[in-house]
């Protein structure tokens, strides 16, 4: 079993998964919140046999069906909150810049609650935290806010 994450510049992130039985599927998470599940042939792992588009709500429903832990989305006064991992890619205008430069919370309402690096994790980064290329931001907010933050980090 193995999982691989690939940043798709200008598109989003692709997550590839191979089961113990050697079956391959992938999930592509677009910057606008759309998700696609792709299924691949055992004999040609690069050829997608079928692709199923999912709205953010459908993706959440499928995740809840698959997740063995009976945990619902966090709810606060009727507002659903989501958590997303957002890569700081090569083309991000924020690689090498401060978190405060993003204006993330003011512009989107979403919060960056942690930054993951290859060798460390930085919980609750302040506005003076400097992003590096390859960082993964852990963001929490509404679906719309987190999607807007993903676009800001990718495009500015």
Domain residue ranges of the chain, discontinuous segments joined by +: 2-66, 74-155
- Nearest in space to 71 (alpha carbons), one of 60, 56, 79: 60
Confidence of residue 62 (pLDDT cuts 50, 70, 90): confident
pLDDT of residue 77: 52
The residue-averaged pLDDT of 145-156 equals: 90
pTM exceeds 0.85: no
CATH topology of domain 74-155: Alpha-Beta Plaits (3.30.70)
pLDDT of residue 73: 46
């Amino acid at each position: 079993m193995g999982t691989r994450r690939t940043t798709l510049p200008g598109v989003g992130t692709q997550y590839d998964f191979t089961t113990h039985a050697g079956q391959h599927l992938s999930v592509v998470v677009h910057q606008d919140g759309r998700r696609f599940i792709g299924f691949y042939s055992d004999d040609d792992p690069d050829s997608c046999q079928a692709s199923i588009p999912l709205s953010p709500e459908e993706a959440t429903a499928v995740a809840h069906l698959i997740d063995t832990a009976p945990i619902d989305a966090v709810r606060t006064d009727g507002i659903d909150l989501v958590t997303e991992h957002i890569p700081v890619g090569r083309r991000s205008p924020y690689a090498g810049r401060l978190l405060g430069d993003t204006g993330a919370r003011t512009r989107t309402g979403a919060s960056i609650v942690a930054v993951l690096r290859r060798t460390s994790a930085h919980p609750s980064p302040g506005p003076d935290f400097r992003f590096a290329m390859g960082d993964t931001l852990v963001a929490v907010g509404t679906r719309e806010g987190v999607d807007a933050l993903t676009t800001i980090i990718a495009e500015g």
